[in-house]
Structure 1
Amino acid sequence: MTAPLTIGMISSYGGLTQRDWLWSQTPHPCGRWGKIQILAPAQNPDYLLLYNFHDFPTEPTPIPLGQRWRRSVRAQRQAQVERNAQVRDRLAQLPKERIISLVREPPFPEKERDRRTAYAQAQHYCGYVSGPDDWAPTPEPMPAIWYYNRGFRELDSLGPPEKTERCCWITSGINRTQCHRDRLAFLKLLRDTETPFDLYGRGLPAWAQGRGELVNKANALGPYYYNLAIENYADNDWYVSEKLWDALLGWCLPIYHGGSAADRLLPPGSFLRLPSLDAAGAAYLREVTSTLDAWHEAQEAIAEARQIILHQLNLVHWLSEFVNA
Structure 2
Amino acid sequence: MVTATIGMISSYRGLEKRIDWLWQQTPHPLGIWGNMQMQAPAPKPDFLLMYQFDFYQPPQQKSWWNRIRKQQQTPEVNIENLLRGVNKERIIYLLREPPLEEVLDITKYNYQQAQKFCGYVSGPDDFAPTPNYMPAIWYHGNSFRELNEMPPPEKVSPCSWITSGINRTANHRQRLEFLQSLQTSGIKFELYGRNLPAWAKTSGELVNKWYGMAPYYYNLAIENYSDNNWYVSEKLWDALLAWCLPIYYGGPAAEKLLPPGSFLRLPSLDEKGVAYIREVTATPDAWYAAKNAIKEARQIILHKLNLLNWLSEFVDQHA
Determine the structure 2 residue equivalent to 1:130: 122
Could you tell me which residue of structure 2 aligns to residue 108 of structure 1? 100
Task: Quote the residue 2:135 is aligned against.
Answer: 143
2:297 is aligned to 305
2:69 aligned residue: none
CA distance in 2, matches of 1:88, 1:220: 42
Q: Which residue of 2 aligns with 1:248?
A: 240
Tell me which residue corresponds to 2:11: 12
TM, length-normalised to structure 1 = 0.91
Letter in 2 for 1:235: D
Q: Which residue of 1 aligns with 2:113?
A: 121
Measured after TM superposition, the shift of residue 3 of structure 1 is 4.6
Corresponding residue for 2:63?
Answer: none
247-256 vs 202-211, greater mean Cα deviation: 202-211
Instruction: For residues 83-122 of structure 1, give each alpha carbon's deviation from its aligned partner in whole angstroms, at most 9, with x where no partner exists.
Output: 513x321226111100000000011011111111110000
Q: 1:175 aligns with which of 153, 164, 167?
A: 167
Alignment partners' CA distance in 1, 2:305 and 2:14? 23
On the 8 A contact 2:2/2:32 being kept in 1, the answer is: no
Q: Distance in 1 between matches of 2:108 and 2:192?
A: 34
Could you say what secondary structure the match of 1:233 adopts? coil
The residue number in structure 1 matching 2:77 is: 84
Residues 187-214 of structure 1 deviation map (CA, whole Å, 9 limit, x = unaligned): 0111122221100000011211111111
Partner of 1:69: none
Q: CA deviation at 1:15?
A: 2.4
Question: Aligned letter for 2:144?
Answer: F
**Deviations for 1:117-162, whole angstroms, at most 9, x for unmatched residues?**
1100000000000000011000111000000221001100011001
| Matched letter for residue 120 of structure 2 | Y
1:22 — aligned with what?
22
Aligned to 2:189: 197
DSSP-derived class of the 1:245 partner? helix
Task: For 1:28, give the aligned amino acid.
Answer: H
Structure 1 segments of 4+ aligned residues over 6 angstroms from their partners: none
CA distance in 2 between partners of 1:255 and 1:107 (Å) = 22
Structure-2 residue corresponding to 1:66: none
Q: Percent identity?
A: 62
Q: Distance in 1 between matches of 2:140 and 2:39?
A: 21
Aligned to 2:34: 34
1:46 aligns to what?
46
**Matched residue count:** 305
SS of alignment partner, residue 208 of structure 1: coil
Partner SS, residue 146 of structure 2:
helix
- Which TM-score applies when normalising by structure 2? 0.92
d(CA) in 1 for partners of 2:169 and 2:224?
Answer: 9
1:322 — aligned with what? 314
Residue of structure 1 equivalent to 2:85: 93
Amino acid corresponding to residue 8 of structure 2 in structure 1: M
Unaligned runs of 5+ in 2: 61-71
- Worse-superposed segment, 37-46 or 47-56: 47-56
- Looking at structure 2, the residues matched to 201 and 107 of structure 1 have their Cα atoms a distance apart, in angstroms, of 23
